[in-house]
């Protein structure tokens, strides 16, 4: 299985993709989809396509709803004080996102680890944070860093590690047509960045049974 590494350790400036706070405009999207069908040489009036603009508009609105989700609201009441300082890991979180360069899906798994600092977050909230950032137009590197930085700041954690393994349809269906390539990106913050031991423990714990492993 070919793996392509994208190394990111939280160094770069993260582009603001918070959106404009308005829900998607379904009416405008529908007429644009009709235009697109025409431009592609299709007949938007034929039976099979009659409801397509409406369906596509709704699908796009769903897949980009992360612009309108508020992380603080999502975490409200889900942070618990605790005297626990061992690593917490949530791995194999499925996600589906869309690349902002081609508006085609990329999807795969996210693995998250953190070292608590007097508080932990309800485990079910971590996949919801992942979804919030996945349901926007994204690039994999930024997606990875956003999850890591959000957890680091909201939990005030001693350290956070995030690894994302993804397949990109824009690579698989067009261009290089590399069907088996998995892009891997990581963001290591705090102790995960400064202590090789911590980072290694995390990488070891998420490794078994991850995407692309044959065992």
What string of H, E and C letters represents the secondary structure of 20-54? CCCCCCHHHHHHHHHHHHHHCCCCCCCHHHCCHHH
DSSP bridge pairs for 87: none
Residue 58 sits in the site that holds Zn ion (CB under 5 A): no
Q: At what angle do helices 140-155 and 125-134 cross, to 10 degrees?
A: 140
The nearer residue to Zn ion, 46 or 101, going by C-beta atoms, is 101
15 is a catalytic site residue: no
78 burial level (CB within 10 Å; 0-12, 13-18, 19+): middle
End-to-end Cα spacing for the chain: 13
102 is a catalytic site residue: yes
Q: Which residue is nearest to Zn ion (CB)?
A: 170
Name the residue with tokens 């070891």: 204
Residue 178 sits in the site that holds Zn ion (CB under 5 A): no
73 is a catalytic site residue: no
SS3 label, residue 54: helix
Q: To the nearest whole angstrom, how small is the minimum distance from the Cβ of residue 104 to Zn ion?
A: 6
101 is a catalytic site residue: yes
Of 96-125, which residues contact Zn ion (CB under 5 A)?
99, 101-102
Residue 88 sits in the site that holds Zn ion (CB under 5 A): no
Token couple for 209: 């049974």
Residue 172 sits in the site that holds Zn ion (CB under 5 A): no
The nearer residue to Zn ion, 102 or 178, going by C-beta atoms, is 102
Chosen residue from 170, 172, 203, 205 binding Zn ion by CB under 5 A: 170
* Active-site residue (options: 54, 170, 195, 201): 170
SS3 label, residue 31: helix
Q: To the nearest whole angstrom, how small is the minimum distance from the Cβ of residue 140 to Zn ion?
A: 9
158 is a catalytic site residue: no
146 is a catalytic site residue: no
Name the residue with tokens 């078994």: 208
Classify each residue of 94-124 as buried b or exposed e, where b means 16 or more C-beta atoms within 10 Å of its C-beta. Answer: ebebbbeeeeebbebbbbbbbbbeeebbeee
Q: Contact region for Zn ion (CB under 5 A) — 21-29, 41-49, 158-166, 170-178?
A: 170-178
Residue 79 sits in the site that holds Zn ion (CB under 5 A): no
Farthest CA pair distance, the chain: 64
140 is a catalytic site residue: yes
Residue 139 sits in the site that holds Zn ion (CB under 5 A): no
Residues engaged in binding Zn ion (CB under 5 A):
99, 101-102, 170
The residues annotated with a catalytic role in the active site are: 99-102, 140, 168, 170
């Amino acid at each position: 299985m070919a793996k392509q590494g994208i190394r990111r350790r939280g160094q770069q400036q993260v582009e603001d993709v918070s959106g404009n706070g308005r829900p998607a405009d379904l009416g405008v999207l529908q007429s644009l989809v009709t235009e697109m069908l025409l431009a592609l040489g299709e007949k938007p009036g034929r039976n099979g396509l009659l409801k397509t603009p409406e369906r596509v508009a709704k699908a796009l609105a769903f897949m980009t709803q992360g612009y309108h989700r508020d992380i603080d609201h999502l975490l409200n009441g889900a942070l618990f004080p605790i005297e626990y300082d061992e690593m917490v890991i949530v791995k194999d979180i499925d996600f589906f996102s869309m690349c902002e360069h081609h508006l085609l899906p990329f999807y795969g798994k996210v693995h998250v680890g953190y070292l608590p600092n007097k508080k932990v977050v309800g485990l079910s909230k971590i996949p919801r944070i992942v979804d919030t950032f996945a349901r926007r137009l994204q690039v994999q590197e930024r997606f990875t860093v956003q999850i890591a930085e959000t957890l680091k700041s909201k939990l005030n954690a001693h350290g956070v590690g995030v690894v994302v393994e993804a397949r990109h349809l824009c690579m698989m269906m067009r261009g290089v047509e590399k069907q088996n390539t998995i892009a891997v990106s990581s963001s290591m913050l705090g102790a995960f960045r400064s202590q090789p031991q911590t980072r290694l423990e995390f990488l070891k714990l998420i490794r078994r049974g991850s995407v692309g492993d044959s065992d």
